[in-house]
Amino acid sequence: MKVFLTGGTGFIGSYVVTELVNKGHEVTILARNPGKIPAFLANPSIKLLKGEIKDREVIKAGLYGKDAVVHLALGEFSTAVGAVENDVLPLAYIMETAALMGIKNLISTSTIATYGNIQKPYAEDQPTRPIAFYGAAKACAEDLVFAVAQVYGVRANFVSPGFTFANAIGEGGTLYHDPRFFYIAKQAREGKDIEVVKHTGTQFIHAEDLAKIYSELVVTTTHNRRVFIGMGNEFVTWEEIANMAAEIGGKSKVIPIDQDLTNVTPSVTKNYPIDLSPIKGAFGFDFPSRAKIREHVKWLIENWQ
């Protein structure tokens, strides 16, 4: 299939592009910096199109002749108006234009932040109650794209990633933004104590595993107007991760810290708070993460500076 993809040189996007190409698809990437990942330039199954998600004429040209759209690029969320102008409106243009051009399969990226600070397990069909502009923009995006699917008779689905980790995909590849892995690796490399809050963690997912959900949605002919939460099946605490790093580094001591967790969401403190039956039922996916986390921590200690 021929796929138009935004955000393909970013952290998650680079893994999605790699997965799609490995499955035999041809991918056109909209990228601000087309030369960011040299391996993509050299791959005949990848075409790089210079532009941003507000460049409507560039996007329209890129959509021509495609079978599916995968949207991963992010706008800016510092204000409510900025979130709409920089993220929601570009998404709406991409998806509606794609539908009008006859593209039948639309896949976009959401976030579990659409559910806000809920005190019960996350689930696909749960009402959204965002508490920040990022989550609000994505909740709005879900409604708009699902309306596009209904009005124009196309398929539209979202992937809602949890904490996604992995090594950089190669030269030019980026990493996630959360600083906790980096802090733990740095302390272990330098032989310093590693302080972590007790009982906190999440159901981490490796970027390679997350990319498989996008890949399946590209070829689906059955799923429509759904949000698939992409997370691993193991709850791993930051204390466990710190102990992995201390063992690998051989010199650090882990210092667990008590903190009031009364008002944090269940995904931070409880085992298996998230309903992952949709990705297992739809695709057979059941992603463990603990072993891959250890490999990643080792890579960070040895390679990240």
**What per-residue confidence (pLDDT) applies to 119?**
66
pLDDT in tens, 6-57: 999 999 999 999 999 999 999 999 999 999 999 999 999 999 999 999 999 9
CATH architecture of residue range(s) 2-163+205-230: 3-Layer(aba) Sandwich (3.40)
**For the chain, where do the domains classified as CATH 3.40.50.720 start and end?**
2-163+205-230
pLDDT in tens, 268-297: 766 567 888 899 999 999 999 999 999 999
pLDDT in tens, 160-175: 999 999 999 999 999 9
Domain 164-204+232-303: homologous superfamily in CATH:
UDP-galactose 4-epimerase, domain 1 (3.90.25.10)
- On average, the pLDDT of the chain sits at 93
Greater confidence (260 vs 252) lies with 252
**For the chain, where do the domains classified as CATH 3.90.25.10 start and end?**
164-204+232-303
Q: What is the DSSP string of the chain?
A: -EEEEESTTSHHHHHHHHHHHHTT-EEEEEESSTTSSHHHHT-TTEEEEE--TT-HHHHHHHHTT-SEEEE------SSHHHHIIIIIHHHHHHHHHHHHTT--EEEEE--GGGG-S-SS---TTSPP--SSHHHHHHHHHHHHHHHHHHHHT-EEEEEEE-SEE----STT----S-SHHHHHHHHHHHT--EEEETT-EE--EEHHHHHHHHHHHHH-SS--SEEEEE--SS-EEHHHHHHHHHHHHSS--EEEE----TTS-HHHHSSS-S--HHHHHHH------HHHHHHHHHHHHHH--
**What per-residue confidence (pLDDT) applies to 296?**
98
pTM for this model (two decimals):
0.95
